[in-house]
A and B are shown apart, each in its own frame.
Chain A
Amino acid sequence: MQRIGVFVCWCGSNIAGTVDVQAVSDALKNEPGVVFSTNYQYMCSQAGQDLIVDAVREHNLTGLVICSCSPRMHEATFRKTAQKAGLNPYMVEIANIREQCSWVHKEMEIGTEKAIILGKAAIAKVHLNAPLTPGESPVTKRALVIGGGIAGIQTALDIADAGFKVDIVEKLPTIGGKMAQLDKTFPTLDCAACILTPKMVDVAQNENVRIFSYSEVTEVKGFVGNFDVTIKKNARYVKEDICTGCGACVDKCPMKKNPNEFNLGMDNRPAIYIPFAQAVPKVATIDPNACNMLKNGKCGLCARVCTAGAIDYTQKDEYIEEKYGAIVVATGYNPISMDKFDEFAYNQSKDVITSLEFERLTNAAGPTAGKLLRPSDGKHPEKIVFVQCVGSRCDACAEKGKEYCSKICCMYTAKHAMLTRDKYPDTEVYVFYIDVRTPGKNFDEFYRRAVEEYGVHYIKGMVGKVTPEGDKLIVQASDLLADKQLKIDADLVVLAAAIEPDKSARPLATMLTASMDTNDFFTEAHPKLRPVESPTAGVFLSGCCQGPKDIPETVSQASAAAAKVIGLLVKDKLTGNPCIASSNELMCNGCSSCERVCPYGAITYVDKEFRMPDRTTRMRRVAQVNPAVCQGCGACTVACPSGAMDLRGFSSSQIMAEVDAICK
């Protein structure tokens, strides 16, 4: 039986004005287990706290009930007081007789009666309180960044600058991501390569950063502060540490006709290749599906011309295991496939291209060396039609597109249109849009310049159909403002394809037990207040994996994620919240209901041997809660039909005791 002390606070006249505090402390004195009951003017004051400490010592109290202001106000204070008196801080319960009693009721009789009931409920609960100790776990001071685009690079740089080790895992042979493929960036029109490649070099040269390119994460175990990650380094058949990136092999390779991914297949690359001149790491990679040596054992030319001796046809995939304290997801985006958009004739005409392809066509390092030429005949296009929202903001066509706004298309289309008119003033440029959305610093000014200074024809309305006819593309569209149908004989049609999360994100989310929305964007821990954290502790979000973003926004979020990671890694150990769920293994059915409602992936299952009452042993699948990951919401406790899952500090019996006390 607990020895409970009740301390009723007057809070000056805040409580005492509407609640007869003497009557409350007198009434609660008679409750079972209560051995001491008093009232005092300001319980939270030093004198009030001393009164509590003295009472604990004098009456050997084991549990405290403080009838005072809201626990949101002073629960922490009184827990410390309890600790000072030698009690476990979780042996304190607060009856909220200020905010939820004296302040909302006017009559003394009513207020007093309610305060007594609230006090009784707190007493009933504290009877069932048990000492709780927060768990501690160490922190591995190394971070993993998955994805080496601008988001991943920025996050890694910021973490490394704070003095922590960071590894970047990038699935392609080079870091740089989508930004490396862009030509100019809105709204300032500085060239993407000029601002990105120095960062790529920085990150490569930073001694706190390791880059695993052409690699992927294959397994994640553990939890915040203690992740065990397996990284698969795909065989590139070139010794990374020896290759100098001279490119001799690339020049000599006879298998030259392979679609060049970096230029989105608009030109070809050899079987051994370096994606682009500023690639990091600048080493060659052999495409095993194209290399004659790897396929048929014939050739070996690259090995012969490599003076460094870096070519290794026998190289195997390598698995690296590493421990991390934090993981940042920066897996980025891709334009959606245009296969389902037959109306735009993307698959019928080479001159219907996506905006990313347009970037390559205007990029000095692209397939046309920066000259805007039609992919079909290499002629200069005189009339270009840009179609916005291709697959974005789809409602009726949700089956083939996305319901969300891809956010970046309005701005890059304005950029494309403006740059075209700037370089080739003889070109007529049309943009078809649903709305032009330009919130952002200097964004609307940028768009207006495209219209006003550069004379781009912005037409509100959607393109219904694109039909190749001879060397023209007949664009049928409606002009909603003029309420008429248009027919434009264009030379080039550019589709602002919606963007979607990279396909690698979904399996990664499963590995990380991080939640995703229906569009496969990672979910934040809180949409407003914790935008760069995943609900899974220790997993952070950077860039477009969380939602469509432009570069400035991506970089800010990348730095924000880095700040969160640094805040975690700087700790030597993590102290958990002790009010967490725990499973009674003897009662657990192993049914997985709790696991399915846990927003944090805190619940795992183990097969465990149990001794049964009849002295046999039996293997049973039981749930285990990771105390470092559980946040104590209690969703699992209701999902569990057997009642094996309970929540410390808010146990079923505690809550029912409160219900009983109130309803008595």
Chain B
Amino acid sequence: MQKISRESLVEKAIAMLQAHEVSAVLGWKKGEFDYDITPALFTDAEDLQKNFVWNDFCGANFSKYLVEKTRNIEGKILTFLKPCDTYSFNQLLTEHRFDREKVYAIGIPCEGMVDIKKIKDACGEGIASIACEEDVLKVTTLYEDAPIAIETETVLAERCLACKSKKHVAYDELLGETGEVLESNRFDEVERLEAMTADERFAFWQNELSRCIRCNACRDVCPACTCEKCVFDNPNSGVENKAAANSFEEKLFHIIRAFHVAGRCTDCGECSRVCPQQIPLHLLNRKFIHDIDRFYGDYQAGAEVGSRAPLVDYTLDDLEASEIFEGRDN
């Protein structure tokens, strides 16, 4: 259950709309189901009252939406940013992707978001509705008479279990409190894979990546992927491909995508959240982040505006490519 109430967000949004301080509000609303909460733009109080949602399913990171919305909307946009969203927000500002003046950013605390896949694992398919209560989700399914109670903590998304920061690094105003950067175990899985043999790693990724259907959801949701035209959509790039014809192209796409966002990825985890094939894509990004930290010193993309990404920087005594595997016997 989120500590800050939906009502306080709605109240703030309505107040700002009515005072003409902002002309639109970027928030969440219910999708087809209770659990597929989607981003939405609100321009009037009534709509906000009725449809604005804030609960344990509001995982969507709004930062990327600002690129397009700030271009298309006159006046300021009010947006709510969870701590991890603020990192993407800063990263986009570093890359001049939207006009800071056109955004009123309100930082809101986040207690972690849940993973619908875990809920389905626990309750099965056929979920009719879900109510978020204090520490518990009440899931009503088509097949059970009584709602099934699940402890929220047990179905938290992987990225929230390994939350890197409760601190807001960008905002105009805070509702509720901001937290601290956390000691996170987010690289454990990367290290587990690194400890495998090359054959095991190949088998692992072959199994994961071969499920890719090249729907591009990971790219489309990624706040670091805001290219005007993606190389994979550009017929002149020489690597254009819409659908992967074989396992190589899946690898090519995911390696290049991860490389393009390396040093810029804030590790928000949206790629894995939206993957319909449940491929742990965030592990590719985390591998780059982990390597960058180890090779070049700790760097958190988006921690501050204007910081120099590690791939557009160097030192005279950087590690050689031949030295990266030193001390590893697998």
Tell me whether A639 is interfacial, beta carbon within 8 Å: yes
Tell me whether A476 is interfacial, beta carbon within 8 Å: no
Q: Evaluate contact between A653 and B228: CB separation under 8 angstroms.
A: no
| CB-contacts of A569-628 with B (<8 A) | 586-593, 596-597, 605, 618, 620-621
Chain A: residues with Cβ within 8 Å of the partner, total of 22
Complex Cα gap A270–B313 (Å): 49
Q: Evaluate contact between B238 and A656: CB separation under 8 angstroms.
A: yes
Tell me whether B308 is interfacial, beta carbon within 8 Å: yes
Q: Evaluate contact between B97 and A589: CB separation under 8 angstroms.
A: yes
Interfacial chain B residues near A644, Cβ < 8 Å: 228
Tell me whether B45 is interfacial, beta carbon within 8 Å: no
Partner of A653, one of B97, B238, B308: B238
Contact with A along B213-240 (1 / 0, CB 8 A): 0000000000000111111001011100
Tell me whether A370 is interfacial, beta carbon within 8 Å: no
Closest Cβ neighbor of B71 among chain A residues: A618
Contact with B along A196-235 (1 / 0, CB 8 A): 0000000000000000000000000000000000000000
Given A587-B234, A621-B96: A593 touches B229 (CB 8 Å cut-off)? no
Given A589-B226, A597-B312: A642 touches B96 (CB 8 Å cut-off)? no
Complex Cα gap A290–B71 (Å): 53
Partner of A652, one of B95, B237, B260, B312: B237
Complex Cα gap A586–B94 (Å): 20
Given A618-B71, A642-B227, A652-B237: A589 touches B95 (CB 8 Å cut-off)? yes
Given A589-B97, A590-B96, A652-B238: A641 touches B227 (CB 8 Å cut-off)? yes
Tell me whether B311 is interfacial, beta carbon within 8 Å: yes
Closest Cβ neighbor of A659 among chain B residues: B238
| CB-contacts of B291-320 with A (<8 A) | 308-309, 311-313
Partner of A591, one of B95, B229, B238: B95
Return A384 CB to nearest CB of chain B, in Å: 39
Return A51 CB to nearest CB of chain B, in Å: 35
Partner of A641, one of B71, B236, B260, B308: B260
Interfacial chain B residues near A605, Cβ < 8 Å: 96
Complex Cα gap A652–B238 (Å): 8
Interfacial chain A residues near B230, Cβ < 8 Å: 642
Return B309 CB to nearest CB of chain A, in Å: 7
Interfacial chain A residues near B238, Cβ < 8 Å: 652-653, 656
Tell me whether A71 is interfacial, beta carbon within 8 Å: no
Q: Evaluate contact between B96 and A586: CB separation under 8 angstroms.
A: no
Return B305 CB to nearest CB of chain A, in Å: 12
Q: Evaluate contact between B229 and A586: CB separation under 8 angstroms.
A: yes
Q: Which residues of A contact B (CB under 8 A)?
A: 586-593, 596-597, 605, 618, 620-621, 639, 641-644, 652-653, 656
What 3 A-B pairs come out closest when comparing CB atoms?
Answer: A591-B95, A642-B227, A596-B312
Beyond A589-B227, A641-B261, 9 extra complex contacts between A and B, CB < 8 Å = A588-B228, A590-B97, A591-B97, A596-B308, A597-B312, A618-B71, A643-B234, A643-B237, A644-B228
Q: Which residues of B contact A (CB under 8 A)?
A: 71, 94-97, 226-231, 234, 236-238, 260-261, 308-309, 311-313
The 7 sampled A-B contact pairs (Cβ below 8 Å) are A586-B229, A590-B95, A591-B96, A618-B71, A642-B230, A643-B231, A652-B238
